[in-house]
Copies of this chain bind each other. A is one copy, B any other.
């Protein structure tokens, strides 16, 4: 594997004083694809990096700060991102338009740019081999554990790290994720693979239904290993899916991961929309938190989208327990309650009984701790 290096710095952006600045240096310009939040209220760093990523298919370095989202900070926020990219380019002696900038943290506070630039200097002065676990730690904010994954099949390797815990929703939310593969792909193939994996992974998780201003997901091909596209895609999916699930597991205050699968829908879009509605339902999330197999709330969410469903032929399962199939099954509810009590990952399956398409969403329950974290995480 070609050596990816990292450097770590402290700009004082976290109250804890922990490291908050990460530089990733690639051994040569790599083909890379980046996806950014759909939110129109974008961070300065996102506006800047999106512009650069549009112009180039190659990336050489990434710089990421945590603790401050560099968002809602006016034109100055874009200038700050640009200054960060230029400083990294200068220190690493590379082109500035091959450096992308990412930020995550609180919205609406100007970046203390002098401190950030000094932290970049420090980070670039001591580069060491990429340590996925430490990299994830540096870019974390409210995360309670680091998120990384590594898979290998022969010479083909794919690995990545991520951060994210709250403001997680469709369209990726306060989430940064970087996945690397040794597989060799041209830009167009990489881009297509990236989009399709993203839809089924980071765009199919939700913690609180809120879409963030800073989400970014990068997929970088180190281009060393010729492998089947299918093998590369499988690895990229696996690593991305693992990272996405870890974000949900770490959902602020979550006690359960909720896997929502909608199957046998006429349209993939319909399966997806309905899975999203169930995964986002605050009533479903609080019911799971209360270990209550309240399938009525699931049914209500299933019926709430723009897609018609037939309430008399659909089925609702919790784990393997059939709770509803046109009529209630009160006896299964006790078993389902036990299932909710005993499993950290709980499956809700909605069988629409009408077609061939399915979609899976990952969500988390919501309890007192979520309120505590979000009512007390002050600006």
Q: Which residue of B lies closest to A106 (CB)?
A: B296
Which residues from B are CB-within-8-Å of A71? 296, 299
Is the interface on chain A under 10, 10 to 19, 20 to 34, or 35 or more residues?
A: 35 or more
Contact B296 A72 (CB under 8 A): yes
A210 and B282 form a contact (CB under 8 A): yes
A213 touches B73 (CB 8 A): no
- Interface status of A74 (Cβ within 8 A of chain B): yes
Would A74 and B326 count as touching, CB distance under 8 A? yes
Nearest CB of B to A285, in Å: 9
Task: Indicate which residue in B107, B299, B328 contacts A296 across the interface (CB closer than 8 Å).
Answer: B107
| Residues of B with C-beta under 8 A to A300 | 39, 41, 107, 167, 210-213
Q: Mark A39-73, 1 if CB is under 8 A from B, else 0.
A: 11110000000000000000000000000010111
Task: Looking at the assembled complex, report how far the CB atom of A252 sits from the nearest CB atom of chain B, in whole angstroms.
Answer: 10
A141 to chain B, nearest CB (A): 13
Of A42, A106, A286, A299, chain B has the most CB atoms within 10 Å of the CB of: A286
Q: Of A26-34, A89-97, A307-315, A353-361, which stretch is located at the interface? A: A307-315
For residue A308, which residues in chain B have a CB less than 8 angstroms away from its CB?
A: 40
How far does the alpha carbon of A309 sit from the alpha carbon of B296 in the complex, in Å? 37
CB closest chain-B residue, reference A282: B208
Q: What separation, in Å, do the CA atoms of A324 and B316 have in the docked complex?
A: 45
Q: Does A375 sit at the interface, judged by CB under 8 A?
A: yes
For residue A143, CB closer than 8 A to chain B, the reply is: no
Q: Is A293 an interface residue (CB 8 A)?
A: yes
The closest CB in chain B to the CB of A366 belongs to: B371
Given contacts A290-B374, A371-B366, contact A108 B210 (CB under 8 A): no
Q: Does A171 contact B (CB under 8 A)?
A: yes
| Shortest distance from the beta carbon of A93 to any chain B beta carbon, whole Å | 34
Minimum CB–CB distance for A338 against chain B, Å: 14
Having A40-B305, A210-B282, A290-B376, one finds 7 other A-B pairs with CB under 8 Å, namely A39-B300, A40-B308, A42-B303, A209-B280, A289-B371, A290-B378, A371-B371
Residues on A lying within 8 angstroms of B by beta carbon are 38-42, 69, 71-76, 106-110, 166-167, 171, 208-213, 280-283, 286-287, 289-290, 292-297, 299-305, 307-309, 311-312, 324, 326-328, 333, 366-368, 370-372, 374-379
